[in-house]
Structure 1
Amino acid sequence: MMKPENARPRNHVKLIVAGGLLAVLAIGYFVLAGPHASEVSPNAHTAHSDRMSPREPGQSAFATIAEIVALLDADPQTDWTKVDIGALREHLVDMDRLTLGATASATIVDNTASYRITGSGDVLRAIQAMVPAHGRELDSLDGWQVSTETTSDGAVLAVTVEDPSEIERIRALGFFGLMTIGSHHQPHHLAMARGTMSGH
């Protein structure tokens, strides 16, 4: 039996169509995968490993100490006979006790905000160490007059401002917000660790 005369042309057309589809798929792959799809970077595994490595130290006090240690290591002038990481750690512990354990109540009259901060045990000790020290820092701000006194159960912080509009900011911040004002914390942490500063 003879084959139809048009059998070979049909097969030829099928091959052309299939080849065209493969070409389209190949072009699509390289477009979607980017210009370097066919390249294998020698640093690809390293970059992937870096992205997969944890970066957070897991605890804020640990991270602060790690940052300070890195600065001390990088400074050739560091006097290791004076370095006192223990003092920095104790300060960070007090910061934690004050922030999480103390109770603060506010009284605002005219342009003066007074805060009574109370606690017991280790929290009380942290209050009496940190509030007067931070009060001195706040008192250096322009337009603010700040006084502190220790009490049997904590401390009192009073802030008087010249600009009446500032009292609304202070009301919103509250005692714990006020404790964050100023950029002295980081230099103090470094000074404590260097052994060139005592106290809080």
Structure 2
Amino acid sequence: MRPQRVLPAVALFALLIAPAQAQHHEMHSAQGEAGPSDAAVLQAPGQAVFGTVQEAIRALEADSTTDWSEVDVDRLRRHLLDMHHVAMHVDVVQKTPIENGVRIRVRPTKDAARAALGRVLDAHPAMLKMETGWTMDVDKGESAYTLRVTTEAPREEDKIRALGYIGLLAYGQHHQHHHWKLVQGTRPHEPSSHHEDPSP
């Protein structure tokens, strides 16, 4: 009769310790896996220029035809700084609907932004025309620029007005192509001279 009393006790003990053993095993498994996965927890590089440069370097490394003697990462960086100034240090003074489109007056708030905006607006109208058919006319004043963007398609007029200054500059896929050509060391549409600015 004694063995019949022992078996329930053993079974009860097993039921009590099983959850603790399972939890202990899971903790050790998680700890063992934590090390290798730590590097994959965070994905963002923390800064937009870093992110674009990292993406470009990965693409260069994956491209078997990359000629590293021609690669120019610094040139890409300078262009990205131009984009930063144009996005962050230019005030939109006025936006007015006009026939077939919009007129926008903008004023750079820093010398670096003024120089950057001049370089960007030298090239962007032609790229916008190529991608969309829209016409961007640029008038440069003493302290401000006036952009006049129009379309021959009436259904696109509201879209142009809604995009506004930054939307019209960011619009399209030519930026990515341009960045790729820059980092490869080719010379796209922009002038070759860029001026460093210590405060991006």
Normalised TM-score (structure 1): 0.75
Per-residue deviation at 1:106?
1.2
Residue among 62, 66, 70 paired with 2:50: 62
Matching residue of 1:18: 9
* Structure 1 residue runs without a partner (length 5+): 1-7
Which amino acid letter does the alignment assign opposite residue 10 of structure 2? G
Q: Identity over the aligned pairs, expressed in percent?
A: 30
Task: List per-residue Cα deviations over 1:12-51 (Å, max 9, x = no partner).
Answer: 54x4443343454577679x87xxx69x88x983x42243
Matching residue of 1:108: 97
Matches within 5 A, 1:32-71: 45=32, 47-53=33-39, 54-71=42-59
Residue among 163, 167, 178 paired with 2:157: 167
Contact 1:117 1:127 in 2 (8 A): no
Per-residue deviation at 1:97?
0.7
Q: Relative to 1, partners in 2 of residues 1:154 and 1:49: Cα closer, same or farther, differing over 3 Å?
A: farther
Which amino acid letter does the alignment assign opposite residue 87 of structure 1? R
Residue among 128, 131, 147 paired with 2:121: 131
Distance 1:112 1:72 in 2: 40
Q: Relative to 1, partners in 2 of residues 1:80 and 1:68: Cα closer, same or farther, differing over 3 Å?
A: same
| Aligned length in residues | 184
Which amino acid letter does the alignment assign opposite residue 59 of structure 1? Q
Contact 2:101 2:161 in 1 (8 A): no
Distance 1:64 1:143 in 2: 28
Distance 2:82 2:112 in 1: 8
CA RMSD, 1 decimal: 3.1
Distance 2:142 2:121 in 1: 14
Q: Relative to 1, partners in 2 of residues 1:177 and 1:25: Cα closer, same or farther, differing over 3 Å?
A: farther
* Structure 2 residue runs without a partner (length 5+): 192-200
Q: Relative to 1, partners in 2 of residues 1:164 and 1:94: Cα closer, same or farther, differing over 3 Å?
A: same
Normalised TM-score (structure 2): 0.75
SS at match of 2:71: coil
Matching residue of 1:4: none
Per-residue deviation at 1:159?
1.5
Task: List per-residue Cα deviations over 1:174-199 (Å, max 9, x = no partner).
Answer: 21122211111111111111221242
Q: Relative to 1, partners in 2 of residues 1:114 and 1:26: Cα closer, same or farther, differing over 3 Å?
A: same
Q: Relative to 1, partners in 2 of residues 1:73 and 1:143: Cα closer, same or farther, differing over 3 Å?
A: closer
